[in-house]
Chains A and B, each alone.
Chain A
Amino acid sequence: NAGVTQTPKFRILKIGQSMTLQCAQDMNHNYMYWYRQDPGMGLKLIYYSVGAGITDKGEVPNGYNVSRSTTEDFPLRLELAAPSQTSVYFCASSREGPRAFFGQGTRLTVV
């Protein structure tokens, strides 16, 4: 089992560029989440999904989009990168229960 896999691990973007952060899980979890972690701050929920075809906004969704066409994949899209989106992004998944599994994170720098 690979668990939750995020790619890429690191990325530098220029202001205004777009990119997609990939997240895949092989545990057949219904619930998937995207968080961002800024230095010295707790993780903030960007978007979440309770199942394929269903997504919803979290606390800080502005500037991001997601899709959930399959149970396994939950990509996060940045359309027009801004310096404020410099952060570490974590994807997580969970079954119908409290235990969430996190990916290793994607460190994004927007310059």
Chain B
Amino acid sequence: KNQVEQSPQSLIILEGKNCTLQCNYTVSPFSNLRWYKQDTGRGPVSLTIMTFSENTKSNGRYTATLDADTKQSSLHITASQLSDSASYICVVSAPFGGSSNTGKLIFGQGTTLQVKP
């Protein structure tokens, strides 16, 4: 069964600290892995997208890594800010059957991050 599991479920850190969120998946075949940030009451917004051949992708203070062999990904947030408080969702894309780029998105449950001053 295609699954995406994230840990921890929730996390509280102090402003300025770093943190790392984990994502394990069993999706096969695999198209790409994405990390989304979802603010409370808003739709998810894409942070990074990585294909099978990419090991790391950065977007400002966000750095995602991917190990396709162990089917693990992490999202590292550097020098956290209060605005980083949100849910972070790992999403793995499995092909619909046609294009290898656009596929069915399988969502993890998300990690809720709270950054405190």
Contact = CB atoms under 8 A, between A and B. Distances in A.
Contacts of B108: 42
Contact of B49 (A33, A50, A98): A98
Given A35-B107, A44-B107, A90-B43, 5 more contacts: A40-B109, A42-B4, A42-B110, A43-B89, A98-B102
Interface in A40-80: 40-45, 48, 50, 58
Interface residues of A, number: 27
A89 to B, nearest CB: 10
B102 A31 contact: yes
Interface string B89-101: 1000100101101
Nearest to B100: A98
A97 B4 CA distance: 21
A102 to B, nearest CB: 3
22 contacts: A42-B107, A42-B108, A43-B89, A43-B107, A44-B107, A50-B98, A58-B104, A90-B44, A94-B102, A96-B99, A97-B101, A97-B102, A98-B31, A98-B49, A99-B46, A100-B105, A102-B43, A102-B45, A103-B43, A104-B41, A104-B43, A105-B41
